[in-house]
Amino acid sequence: MNYLQHAQSTAEKIGNSLVNNLVIAGTTAVSDILTIPMGLFTVATGGNFIENPINRWAVDAQNSTQKALPIYRGSDYEDKNLLGKMGTNVFWADLIQNLGFTEGMMASSLALSYLKLPSVAISLIASIGEGSVEAINRKDEVL
């Protein structure tokens, strides 16, 4: 999300990014594990596989948390190249926040490994979950 410039300290940015990280990690883990069974149930009852209640919950939780606890960035940040961005607190706050996707996928993969599934099946299940949530995010951005 792109927020206008706002007086926000480094501590506020990092604090907001940590909370967002936890929400993203948790919702990613849950949606990765439950997307396929909930998607199939939703299709069986006349709904859309991707737009199932678990995925919608994950997207809404992530977006509402990011709106409540934003990481503000200004045009001065947007105009910098990658190396210039790396020297800012916005870059590091964004990185902390978005590591939640990796953490959630790792958590869901670990949980799924207890089912003794082949690693390719675990990767496929987690990828379908993550891809479904991203598809909803992209659709919401277009609308």
Residue 2 has pLDDT above 50, yes or no: no
Whether 57 is in a domain gets the answer yes
Whether 4 is in a domain gets the answer no
Whether 2 is in a domain gets the answer no
For residue 63, what pLDDT is reported?
95
Q: What mean pLDDT comes out for the span 46-71?
A: 95
3-state class (DSSP) for residue 48: coil
Residue 103, domain extent? 10-142
65-88: pLDDT as tens digits: 999 999 998 888 888 999 999 999
- Confirm if 78 and 65 have CB atoms less than 8 A apart: no
Helix or strand holding residue 21 (H, E): helix 10-44
Q: How many domains is the chain partitioned into structurally?
A: 1
Is residue 7 classed exposed, middle or buried when 0-12, 13-18 and 19+ CB atoms within 10 A define those classes?
Answer: exposed
Q: Which two tokens mark 85?
A: 């961005």
Whether 1 is in a domain gets the answer no
Quote the DSSP letter at residue 49.
S
Is residue 110 classed exposed, middle or buried when 0-12, 13-18 and 19+ CB atoms within 10 A define those classes?
Answer: exposed
Whether 18 is in a domain gets the answer yes
For residue 1, what pLDDT is reported?
44
What is d(CA 105, CA 83) in angstroms, rounded to the nearest whole number? 28
pTM, to two decimals: 0.88
Nearest to 61 by CA among 96, 31, 105: 31
Whether 105 is in a domain gets the answer yes
Whether 67 is in a domain gets the answer yes
- Confirm if 51 and 24 have CB atoms less than 8 A apart: no
